[in-house]
Amino acid sequence: MINLEVPKKAKALVNQARQAATEVFRPISRKYDRAEHSYPTELDMLAALLDGLNTSGEGGAGAAGVRRKDDKDGKDGKDTAGNRNGGNLLTVLGTIELCWGDVALLLSMPRQGLGNAAIASVADDEQLERFGKLWAAMAITEPGCGSDSAAITTTATKDGDDYVLNGEKIFVTSGERADAVVVWATLDRSKGRAAIKSFVVEKGTPGFEVVRLEHKLGIRASDTAVLRFDNCRVPAKNLLGSPEIDTKKGFAGVMQTFDNTRPLVAAMAVGVARAALEETRRILEEAGIEVDYDKPALAQHAAAATFLQLEADYEAAYLTTLEAAWMADNRKPNSLQASMAKAKAGRAVVDITLKCVELAGTFGYTEESLLEKWARDSKILDIFEGTQQIQQLIVARKLLGKTSKELK
């Protein structure tokens, strides 16, 4: 049975993350939204604190991984560990709190990139030891390949003990600041998605170039880069997962990363949505509009009724996100739930923040409040790690038992 209540052992982490969001993120949120591409140096000390939490095993708000190892300690080989609330759930809860403070600043945190989640999920023990302390970005999207990750054209050609990478990646979060980038590339384009592998490419590697930084609608505190790989030689031992092309297994190897990162993005959306709801409720109360949970919505002020609808949408996104993380902690396949959480939370945060701007009137559209910023930040949470449409397609395939060829 899945219990979606916040576990007792997570309360200390949640309180610490909330304090960091309140004392560190919120005060500098507007500053770095205006100073796009400027690195928030205030985050260095906070990043060191999160490193300590992760090392101690208490979990942080950063990049945990889905390490799918068997927990069979009974004499008959059966799993005796029972249900657990582990690193993934703790990470999701911490992420919600920090993104209540500022989602772009979380994306700017050293060693908390989506590439770190990929390494934590897919790397073997030796790779985890080598790359575990690096700040890693994730490079998937290309100029001609957006949500369809199977259409990747960046190539990785085996040459002795190295792979030679050629191609271009766009919209890479922390692409300039990170120490390394997890690059998705194909070993053989004729073999389709089964040939797509991920490689850890460290900064300073010859042939690896940061071409430019993008100016964006939202999450301006984070850097978003265009990267180019021109005969970039990467050691073969930097390939994450198996180098074999298994057409039967297909895309499953690299897609395992998304089972971990999509709930994280959903958690980011939940945090932003909650921030917008709390601010909107404060503004409504100051205007004399009370939200009464003991009355039917239709018997209340129109703004209060709308607010109740938005809260219900938020709760649904929150619960689906916790479910996906809980399943990962309990070694249950969560691809369906990860996509459901990402789809629901991504859509909900856009709807909620835009409606909150509307409900708040002039306070929602000016820089007197952070509502307009949250509305701008929210859209990327519905796009990256797979758009709304892609998530719905994945969910439909899972529920209907269809393959990617059968349902496009």
For residue 385, indicate whether it is catalytic.
yes
Instruction: Check pLDDT > 60 for residue 133.
Output: yes
228 plus 312 within the same structural domain: no
66 plus 123 within the same structural domain: yes
Q: Maximum Cα–Cα distance for the chain, whole Å?
A: 73
Instruction: Check pLDDT > 60 for residue 74.
Output: no
Mean predicted lDDT score pLDDT of the chain: 88
Instruction: Check pLDDT > 80 for residue 65.
Output: no
335 plus 352 within the same structural domain: yes
Specify the CATH number for the domain of residue 198.
Answer: 2.40.110.10
Last residue of a domain, one of 182, 217, 240: 240
User: Which of the two residues, 251 and 324, has the higher pLDDT score?
Assistant: 324
Which of 183-187, 330-334, 398-402 shows the lowest mean pLDDT across its residues?
Answer: 330-334
Instruction: Check pLDDT > 50 for residue 14.
Output: yes
Whether residue 1 lies inside any domain: the answer is no
> Model confidence at 338, in pLDDT bands (50, 70, 90)?
very high
- Residue 80: the pLDDT is 46
Query: Exactly one of 202, 290, 385, 406 is catalytic; which is it?
Result: 385
258 plus 392 within the same structural domain: yes
Instruction: Check pLDDT > 60 for residue 68.
Output: no
308 plus 353 within the same structural domain: yes
b/e map 299-316, b = 16+ CB within 10 Å = ebbebbebbbebbebbee
Mean pLDDT of 16-42: 95
257 plus 277 within the same structural domain: yes
Whether residue 245 lies inside any domain: the answer is no
190 plus 71 within the same structural domain: no
List the domain range (segments joined by +) for residue 291: 252-400
Question: CB neighbours (10 Å) of residue 34?
Answer: 11
Instruction: Check pLDDT > 70 for residue 216.
Output: yes
Which of 51-65, 191-205, 283-297, 307-321 shows the lowest mean pLDDT across its residues?
Answer: 51-65
- Residue 146: the pLDDT is 74
Instruction: Check pLDDT > 50 for residue 235.
Output: yes
Instruction: Check pLDDT > 60 for residue 63.
Output: no
Tokens representing 219?
């999450």
CB 355 within 8 A of CB 379: no
- Residue 112: the pLDDT is 79
229 plus 304 within the same structural domain: no
Last residue of a domain, one of 131, 152, 177: 131
Number of domains in the chain: 3
301 plus 394 within the same structural domain: yes
∠291-292-298 over CA atoms, to 5°?
A: 90
Whether residue 286 lies inside any domain: the answer is yes
281 plus 386 within the same structural domain: yes
Instruction: Check pLDDT > 70 for residue 26.
Output: yes
Whether residue 217 lies inside any domain: the answer is yes
Whether residue 211 lies inside any domain: the answer is yes
Tokens representing 306?
């709308």
∠251-115-398 over CA atoms, to 5°?
A: 35
User: Which of the two residues, 140 and 122, has the higher pLDDT score?
Assistant: 140
22 plus 88 within the same structural domain: yes
**Calpha distance 125→129 (Å, rounded):** 6
Whether residue 69 lies inside any domain: the answer is yes
Instruction: Check pLDDT > 60 for residue 67.
Output: no
Last residue of a domain, one of 181, 207, 240: 240
Specify the CATH number for the domain of residue 24.
Answer: 1.10.540.10
